[in-house]
Structure 1
Amino acid sequence: MKRNWERKHIADICEKASSNIALNKLEGVDGDYPVYGASGFVQNVDFYQRDTEYIGIVKDGSGVGRVNTYPAYSSLLGTMQYILPKDGYLLSFVSYALKSLNLASFASGAAIPHIYFKDYSKCQISVPPLEEQSRIVAELDLLTGIIDKQNAQLKELDNLAQVIFYDMFGDPIENPKGWEVKNIGDIADVKIGPFGSLLHASDYVNGGHPVINPVHLKAGKIVAEDDFTVNDDMYAQMMSYVLHKNDIVFGRRGDIGRCALVTQEQDGYLCGTGSLFVRFNIQVQPLFSIATLMHKSITDFLLKKAKGATMLNINCGIVEEVPFILPPLALQQSFAEKIQSIEKQKETIRASIADTQKLLDYTMDKYFG
């Protein structure tokens, strides 16, 4: 350990507070002070929690263990807990220290994971003098700032893609340009994934044939996981659920409208229990088809048709009713070329983010590992 550094328990350098806001208290409330939850900003209210910055931690549910810093005159929902650094410890330094602990690893609970301050407060970290804390924070802030700017560039490129689609084709539901329209069921085959009686949790193995569930559909792309695969015998029983290049996979429950395009590399993956897929039987440019089906107006259409009281879900019949515009193929191809150019820019940015993240991880490990 470096000179003048000390080993400290988290409980020695910060304390937990718990005056969080219940969601039902926000009904009909409006004001000047923001409230944050696990997914970010919720709404403004007419009361606030603290008059200085503080650290918020997602204490249960989705994103458990996520650490963030929140501004003065703001509040947190009951799914969050906030942490206050003690005198002599910089808020940003403590925030980085908490992130280094991977608080999600302290979660317990089968149905809804949750963490307790009493568990991770016993962890120790090395703490330097205040001046050194400030220098470390500046170094880490520089790297995280670069990553934030790069992520902002990705969002700008996504927005550009949406603008290009709207300029070329208009809203696919309102169809202001008067394109030919067909229901999905008239131009594609729609098939739901296997029922739970065919594919059980116990059937999953590591390193087999990937099975695509809603969790694997991210921003129009499929991100498979090694733990969600099946062996050759199970694969042979599920041949009718095999995905092919240019199919579009939908999550059929939960986050309605989530979908992704099957690429050449993913040809042969399996549609999972929580998914369904669309296979066009006419010529449609794949990048145009996924951009159309990811459009907000299509998602809104699906939400209006979705069934279920506790969890919304869609089925083949609902997807077959989706109206699909059919501009000339040459125009679809022109759109695809523009999108491909944008995707190349995004790949360059993602590679840069990965490199910066490696440097950030190394630096975090150097100070908190």
Structure 2
Amino acid sequence: MAVIYKKLGEIADISSGGTPKRTNPAYWKNGNIPWVKISDIKGKYLEKTEEFITEEGLNNSSAKLFKKGTLLYTIFATIGECAILNIDASTNQAIAGINVKSEKVLNEYLYYFLKSIKNTVVNTGRGVAQNNINLSILKNIDVPLPEIEVQNRIINLLNKSNELVKKCKAQIEALDQLTQSVFLEMFGDPYKNPKNWPVGTIKDITLKTQYGTSKKASENKGKYPILRMGNITYNGFLDFNDMKYIDLDDSEAEKYLVHKGDLLFNRTNSKELVGKTAVYREELPMAYAGYLVKLVPNEKANSEFISGFLNSKYGKTLLYSMAKNIVGMANINAEELKRIKIYIPPRDLQDKFASIISNILERRELLNKGLKLLEENYNSLMQRAFKGELFTEEKVSNL
């Protein structure tokens, strides 16, 4: 028996949310209605939001109250993220609410199907100033509808695969937290300096700083990969996805290449992200772009210690308070970075810390390789499930 296809708009009611006027405090102050933004969507189920609106704000805007169980789907800027509401909530206009009205489709099945076609939907939304898809495009998506028993089999399989991915991510997150715990145990809280280390400034432990190159990079041509602000993660690692390339002559290479053991600092970004810091640990040098600062430590410090300090809770809070907003972006320049006060433990203790971090990173790398395989398997299962390659109704009936 062939699988039936239905338009998403035939099996679900779909509408987008809205944003009450920010200038009217009556719409926001002491609000108790959860209001979902794209940044709130972080997993399969959504249970909390950063912001809330009032009943008055809901009634005097295009915002709508979506019931628990509604599927949320992002349609503007960041396209194709989805989650199932575990609470009643409203959303902004970048998110559509999908309420299944057909008894022939299960919510979780539709969730996984929409996850499986994310790349296709994203490509549909490209080519405009801000990536987006309208509700008409969403409503016209063809959804395969096998029998409920088959849908349940697909849900159970993908749940198990997704759970393995989540557990691996949790292990990596635990190692990241261990890094901070080791820093605090060895050096003490930077705010209190309980071990009474000598206090100086980052300038006192710096040999030199250098801004990155402003040369235009290419998608695939150039001698050197170039690191940009998006390649530094918030928690202090380098992400080598989405690399571009650049050519540098000898004099430029001397200034604009980062080498193993150097520190990279993101001097310009949004206020929340400015100050992202990571140690460059690769054997081969790479170029780095103008929104980054390269810091080379002197004999009093190593980059792992400085990175641990700036990535600590204290460091993040300090950098956030220092960031100056300039035309929609925030900035901390190299001189301001060097004026930051920092305790300076003995170099041999810093080196011991760096050695421990190296061991943690080896374990993290193994977990990341495992995570990549688990995610590949999960994505493969999703694609095969909705192509009908995993379960057929004939197979299910014979079980």
Whether TM exceeds 0.5 here: the answer is yes
Structure 1 residues 142-291: aligned runs within 5 Å: 142-188=160-206, 189-195=208-214, 199-200=215-216, 205-206=220-221, 208-218=223-233, 219-225=235-241, 227-231=243-247, 237-254=252-269, 255-265=273-283, 267-291=284-308
Percent of aligned positions that are identical: 23
Aligned length, in residue pairs? 359
Gap change, CA 1:224 and 1:156, over 3 Å in 2: closer
Return the alpha-carbon distance in structure 2 between the equivalents of residues 4 and 313 of structure 1. 58
What's the counterpart of residue 156 of structure 2? 138
Q: How does the TM-score come out when normalised to structure 2?
A: 0.81
Deviations 1:97-127 (A, max 9, x none): 1111113222246543222232243332422
Structure 1 residues 91-110: aligned runs within 5 Å: 91-102=107-118, 103-108=121-126, 110=128
What's the counterpart of residue 8 of structure 1? 6
Preserved contact between residue 227 and residue 289 of structure 2 (Cα < 8 Å) = yes
Return the alpha-carbon distance in structure 1 between the equivalents of residues 201 and 352 of structure 2. 23
Return the alpha-carbon distance in structure 1 between the equivalents of residues 200 and 253 of structure 2. 30
- The alpha carbon displacement at 1:154 in A equals 1.9
Q: Which moved more, 1:268-277 or 1:33-42?
A: 33-42
Return the alpha-carbon distance in structure 1 between the equivalents of residues 213 and 205 of structure 2. 23
What's the counterpart of residue 81 of structure 2? 66
Helix, strand or coil for the counterpart of 1:64? coil
Preserved contact between residue 20 and residue 81 of structure 1 (Cα < 8 Å) = no
* Structure 1: 5+ residue stretches without partners: none
- The alpha carbon displacement at 1:153 in A equals 2.1
Preserved contact between residue 17 and residue 92 of structure 2 (Cα < 8 Å) = no
Gap change, CA 1:83 and 1:288, over 3 Å in 2: same
Q: How does the TM-score come out when normalised to structure 1?
A: 0.87
- The alpha carbon displacement at 1:207 in A equals 5.9
Helix, strand or coil for the counterpart of 1:172? coil
What's the counterpart of residue 90 of structure 1? 106
**In the alignment, does 2:363 pair up with 1:345?**
yes
* Structure 2: 5+ residue stretches without partners: 41-48, 56-63, 388-399
What's the counterpart of residue 334 of structure 2? 316
Return the alpha-carbon distance in structure 2 between the equivalents of residues 120 and 70 of structure 1. 19
- The alpha carbon displacement at 1:93 in A equals 0.8
Helix, strand or coil for the counterpart of 1:264? coil
Gap change, CA 1:35 and 1:120, over 3 Å in 2: closer
